[in-house]
Structure 1
């Protein structure tokens, strides 16, 4: 399954928690999630956002268990193409592409 399909699937069950926006139930095509913004599931079990594993400076888009202190990652979008700084943004087009 491609990333856009996964994000759309997860957006159905995640809240958008952006500092500059009100809480939403979906990601709309007019919003951008920047590095530092996260989407948290209704039951607060999962979180989607940007992260760096261990001491790495690479940034990835992923979903992890929010309630587990070690942040166990369960899905990574850009495993093969990490972002090298904190300039990452997640935005969906009207066609559902990222």
Structure 2
């Protein structure tokens, strides 16, 4: 096999493995697309009257697996925090707060 073909096959294999791994993460692969004019992502309709560092959606979302690796927030995750079994709604609220209120 030629080196070009080997590199291509490795690239395809790596892409397949990366997409398989991303599919195991609950609801992360479909999040963080924010183009409201195309109907993608949250539509900002208003924010609560408190700060992001004490918002329950931010704290629970950050501590329960909704945050991306590049989200760095001044949030301390308490050890006794109970995370929901299905965190889809929690992650939706987290995304809304991150895009609309805490930018």
Higher relative contact order (CA 8 A, sep 6+): 2
Give the TM-score range, shorter chain: under 0.3
User: Larger C-alpha radius of gyration, 1 or 2?
Assistant: 2
Higher strand share: 1
**TM-score, length basis structure 2:** 0.23
